[in-house]
Amino acid sequence: MEPFALHHPSYLTIENWTKLFPELLAGMTTKHGGTSKGFFQTLNMGFHVGDRIDDVVENRQKLSVLLDFPLNGWVGAEQTHDIVLKKVSRIDRGTGAESYQNAFKGTDGFYTDEPGILLTLCFADCVPLYFAAPKFKMIGLAHAGWKGTVREIARQMVQAWRNEGIPPEEIYIAIGPSICEECYIVDNHVVNLVENILEDVDEKPYNLISDGQYSLNLRQLNRQILLKAGIPVRNILMTGYCTSCHDLFFSHRKDQGKTGRMLSFIGWKEI
Ligand SMILES: [Zn+2]
């Protein structure tokens, strides 16, 4: 069953998690319902893509009202396809929420065990990874494009949580809307890097389609990395939504680089 459900024209949520933990807010925006124009119409959440900053702030304010999660509780990052994770706390609230200049530099993942903080990252084809260990109140979000994926940002988060005393069996993961294997064609360079981390895995997440061209299933690759890191298979949800196939989303590949960004988010609401 598809774990991500369209809760509103402007965003999807992870239904199962919401049912189990009503105070947990986790999901992803669509491209609909905002005020941005041109390439960014309409609900662009990214500050760094050339859109009018005022429109992006307005889009973010709209979403904060829809989610009932104040903008001054959000944190955001300047994402660099690296594997740096940042543990945030309440003093960080608002950082990167309304401007790119004060966002966390060089950060591709957040985690926290405090309520009232909405972890946010921007996406347009890359894989959003949602983490939750409700027993420990820990939640996390990571940005996994092919670079972050082959550098194993997924395993990095599991390791960071192990260091906090959280065993992998207590960690639940949702792999969110991102580019599907049919839409995602890569070359030998990328596939060689994938090979390096999947030596002992039989089922390869890629297929040769023509000379030096492969279709790569980035979602499946992240799933395999998580399984290797000790996450039980039953703990992992994976979406079928492709950001390129589906008209709900901005897609960096489909829109040839000139496009907006969706926002993935996870946070404990304050009660
Ligand atoms: Zn697709």
Rounded to the nearest 5 degrees, what angle is found at the Cα of 206, between the Cα atoms of 244 and 139?
Answer: 65
Of residues 138, 119, 44, the one with CA closest to residue 74: 119
Q: What is the pLDDT of residue 146?
A: 97
Q: What is the pLDDT of residue 79?
A: 96
Report how far ligand 1's centroid is from the alpha carbon of 203 (Å): 20
Q: What b-and-e string marks burial along 162-174, b requiring 16 or more CB atoms within 10 Å of the CB? A: eeeebebebbbbb
Report how far ligand 1's centroid is from the alpha carbon of 156 (Å): 27
Q: What is the pLDDT of residue 200?
A: 82
Could you report the per-residue pLDDT of 57-111, keeping only the tens digit for each? 999 999 999 999 999 999 999 999 999 999 999 999 999 999 999 999 999 999 9
Report how far ligand 1's centroid is from the alpha carbon of 22 (Å): 31
Chunked into runs of 10 residues, the chain (271 residues) has average pLDDT values of 96 96 97 98 97 98 98 97 97 97 97 98 98 98 98 98 98 98 97 92 94 97 97 98 97 95 97 77
Q: What is the pLDDT of residue 15?
A: 95
Q: Take residue 174 and report the two structure tokens written for it.
A: 């949702």
Report how far ligand 1's centroid is from the alpha carbon of 241 (Å): 8
Residue 8 phi, psi (nearest 5): -165, 155
Q: What is the pLDDT of residue 106?
A: 97
